[in-house]
Amino acid sequence: MPKKDRARIDYMPGQAAFDALTLASEKYPNMRPQALIDKLLITGLCALHWKPPSLYGADRDRWQLPEQFRKVQEGADD
């Protein structure tokens, strides 16, 4: 999308948001601040839609990771 077609959003972050941006810049030192803000915003939106797995009952030995993670774990044994 050309820059002239993008909406500019100015904001004044709270201290916690500023601290999070500082920590993210340490984790991703090669990213520009705007790219970090985009990454954090998109990741945060995805996290809001995340549904934790159902872990019913008190028998922790019967609890299982969601299938998508079990596949990763089983593949790591190869």
* CA–CA distance, 77 with 28 (Å, rounded to integer): 30
CA distances (Å), origin 44, targets 33, 38, 62, 64, 76:
16, 10, 31, 25, 28
Q: What is the pTM of this model?
A: 0.60
For residue 44, what is the enclosing H or E element? helix 33-48
pLDDT digits (tens, 9 = 90+) for 10-53: 888 889 998 999 999 999 999 999 999 999 999 999 988 888 88
CB 35 within 8 A of CB 24: no
Amino acid at 53: P
